[in-house]
Chain A
Amino acid sequence: MSSRTERAPITQEKETVQTWDIIILEEVCKGCAFCHTFCPRDVLEQSDTFNAKGHYPPRVKAIERCVGCKLCEAVCPDFAIFVKERSPSKR
């Protein structure tokens, strides 16, 4: 949503329940960008700040879209991201 001329949709957003948590271990990330590039639901994006080693880790931009497919976890070469199901009490 970068363009200012673009109008936000009038319809109200559907209320969603967050079922998944994505945990990002920023300091072990090497910034390969695999997780946010291949996320089929466009849940992640690259963060604009870098970690101690100078790599840009991912960050969550739309957790409500996550369906827990764990592809990000599978394609991460550095054990730096994983997906956890929320316990029902926290939802």
Chain B
Amino acid sequence: MTATTQSKPSQEEHPITRYVRKDRIPHIYCPACGIGIVLTAFATALDNLKFDIDKLTVVSGIGCTGRASGYFEADGFHTTHGRPIPFATGVKVANPELKPVVISGDGDLFAIGGNHFIHAARRNVDMLVLCINNFMYGMTGGQQGPTTPTGAITSTTRFGNIENPFNLVSLAASAGAVYVARWTVLHARRLAKSIEKALQKDGFTFIEAVSPCPTLYDRHNRFGSGLDVLKLYKEISVIRNFSDPMKAEIDYSTRIVCGEFVDEEKPEFTQRLAEQSARLQKR
């Protein structure tokens, strides 16, 4: 096979690939998929914070985003479908020094894993949950999921989705997350800043990254290429920091409300556990 590009391959290394398993690049994601942008944003946030990688555990579930944990040069675990949050809870409780980061998709975290999500948020276990929302199941071929908009076409809703979708930021806020934000992948730098902020917080933090799926969702619903969807994001997304997450619209035909919705302090689970344990051991 011959490449027709004239320029020599660069010997230089991408600055964030020090956080990435180089032997696993290029990753599996389709051209113009947004998951890679979120991975870049995450690595950029780690780099900006000079985060101690030994203290990081990246956990993911099943699906396209589920593969994310395997791309970072850190401790990582690829759980069964829907279970990254309880796994991360086990890690955090076993060693509170560690920071688990769950990177997973909307189907994994909010359908099969929905119960785990609300309970980890309720307990306020210290972890960052980074959800890449592409409005359906990607890995299995574009089926309807818990975030699929009403009326949307997927491979299992050929005549339009008759269900109502979750508003993820509203769900996270009401379940008790101490930090909640939503960005589209076009807000890549704001997303990275948001990840930085969440990594420094002590408690259950949630960031939703709205991403195109040019292969399935955007094709089924005639939104065009990944580039077209990013252009759409540029057109319709608005930033409304600390507005009511209940009213944070997410609709390709009207607008996508982005921003930070919650940023507060609450006692964290493993800290309370340690305090109680210390008190009991003194007796």
- Do residues A79 and B4 form an inter-chain contact, with CB atoms below 8 A? no
- Do residues A74 and B10 form an inter-chain contact, with CB atoms below 8 A? no
Q: How many residues on the A side are at the interface (Cβ–Cβ under 8 A)?
A: 32
> Would A31 and B31 be within 8 Å (CB), given that A24-B10, A47-B5 are in contact?
yes
- Do residues A30 and B31 form an inter-chain contact, with CB atoms below 8 A? yes
Most buried by A among B1, B15, B17: B15
Most buried by B among A24, A47, A78: A78
Bound-state Cα–Cα, A74 to B14, Å: 12
Size bracket, chain B contacts: 35 or more
Smallest CB-CB separation from A82: which chain B residue?
A: B14
User: Interface 1/0s, chain A 11-30, versus B by CB < 8 A?
Assistant: 00000000000011111101
Q: Which A residues contact B (CB, under 8 angstroms)?
A: 23-28, 30-34, 37-38, 47, 49-52, 55, 57, 70-71, 73-80, 82, 84
Q: Which B residues contact A (CB, under 8 angstroms)?
A: 1-7, 9-10, 12, 14-17, 20, 25-27, 29-37, 39-41, 44, 185-186, 188-189, 192, 226-227, 230-231, 234
Smallest CB-CB separation from B231: which chain A residue?
A: A37
- Do residues A82 and B33 form an inter-chain contact, with CB atoms below 8 A? no
Q: Which of A24, A27, A55, A74 contacts B189 (CB 8 A)?
A: A74
Smallest CB-CB separation from A33: which chain B residue?
A: B227
> Would A52 and B3 be within 8 Å (CB), given that A30-B31, A75-B186, A78-B36 are in contact?
yes
